[in-house]
């Protein structure tokens, strides 16, 4: 059987990828603009209650409609998106730091340390993320930091696997062998050659983890275990709209749900371009 050879995609494939990347970049730019500009200008207005305007459908005055106490749902959604995105960024960074440290240590030390660490990773990965996250947040009052801790505890294992695999690959490189032969300590080899080599993969893992963290926060908030109910996160908005949906008012549920999906698609498109640029031959290896 002839050996499989990677060939660059044709013109149509490159055009499709370029369109996907441009679309993702536009969506990401609009999201960043919205979460930076709209909420500071409308933070007070989005808390205003007007019972005479409750549950009005989308219109020119209220493009996303109003909620069950008459607040503008567009402002509430954008403000909630900012909260969910901030929680997702901080939680993804924390999980990536933990996973990078554990994976680098396992790959660099090898031996029994690597075996023990990876068995712990396998054991924790076997537990459903949401179940483990519920256990973590149940130990504290609802708030931002328990949610961040919950995501960090439940999402670092995939990064640890990626970083460990890359460290094992780097350990066989000539410059690493030369450093070891020259008498460099394991700590120096790890700090000078191994850790810098895994930073691109760790960065990509962090970017891909942001949507996971946002969905995790939204699931916990929907269950009443995440952010406080008065705080406008996307999960809380969906949770608060359950009664309206049963009454036939669809917009309080639809628009927060869409704002959860859009960042996921945008980040996936941009991360895919980053992954292809890093290593076209390994574009499927780094998917979390």
Q: Are 214 and 95 in contact (CB under 8 A)?
A: no
pLDDT band at 221 (very low <50, low <70, confident <90, very high): confident
Tokens representing 268 are 């996936």
Output phi, psi for 254, to 5 deg. Answer: -65, -50
Tell me, what's the pLDDT at 251?
Answer: 85
Q: How many Å apart are CA 13 and CA 99, to the nearest integer? A: 34
pLDDT at residue 165 greater than cutoff 80: yes
pLDDT band at 4 (very low <50, low <70, confident <90, very high): very low
Mean pLDDT, to the nearest integer, of 176-204?
A: 73
Tokens representing 100 are 């990078």
Helix ranges (H only) for 223-250 are: 234-240, 242-246
Q: How many Å apart are CA 286 and CA 200, to the nearest integer? A: 11
Tell me, what's the pLDDT at 113?
Answer: 86
Tell me, what's the pLDDT at 180?
Answer: 66
pTM: predicted TM-score of the whole model, two decimal places? 0.78
Average pLDDT, the chain: 78
3-state DSSP assignment of residue 72? strand
Q: Which CATH architecture has domain 23-44+65-282?
A: Orthogonal Bundle (1.10)
For residues 28 and 111, the model is more confident at 111
pLDDT in tens, 97-114: 999 989 888 888 878 888
pLDDT at residue 288 greater than cutoff 70: no
pLDDT at residue 13 greater than cutoff 60: no
Tell me, what's the pLDDT at 97?
Answer: 92
């Amino acid at each position: 059987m002839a050996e499989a050879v990677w060939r660059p995609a044709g013109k149509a494939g490159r055009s499709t990828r370029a369109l996907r990347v441009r679309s993702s970049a536009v969506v990401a730019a609009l999201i960043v603009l919205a979460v930076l500009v709209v909420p500071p200008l409308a933070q007070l207005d989005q808390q205003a209650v007007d019972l005479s305007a409750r549950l009005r459908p989308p219109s020119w005055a209220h493009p996303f409609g109003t909620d069950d106490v008459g607040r503008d749902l567009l402002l509430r959604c954008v403000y909630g998106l900012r909260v969910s995105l901030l929680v997702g960024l901080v939680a993804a960074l924390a999980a990536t730091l933990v996973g990078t440290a554990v994976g680098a240590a396992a790959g660099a030390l090898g031996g029994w340390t690597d075996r023990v660490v990876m068995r712990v990773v396998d054991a924790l990965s076997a537990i459903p993320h949401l179940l483990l996250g519920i256990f973590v947040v149940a130990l504290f009052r609802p708030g931002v930091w328990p949610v961040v801790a919950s995501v960090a505890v439940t999402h670092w294992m995939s990064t640890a696997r990626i970083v460990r695999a890359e460290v094992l690959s780097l350990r066989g490189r000539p410059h690493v062998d030369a450093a070891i032969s020259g008498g460099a300590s394991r700590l120096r080899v790890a700090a000078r050659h191994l850790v810098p080599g895994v930073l691109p993969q760790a960065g990509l893992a962090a970017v891909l983890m942001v949507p996971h963290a946002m969905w995790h926060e939204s699931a916990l908030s929907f269950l009443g275990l995440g952010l406080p109910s008065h705080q406008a996160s996307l999960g809380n908005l969906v949770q608060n709209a359950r009664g309206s949906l049963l009454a036939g008012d669809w917009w309080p549920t639809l628009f927060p749900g869409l704002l959860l999906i859009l960042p996921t698609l945008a980040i996936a498109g941009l991360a895919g371009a980053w992954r292809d640029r890093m290593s076209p031959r390994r574009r499927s290896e780094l998917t979390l």
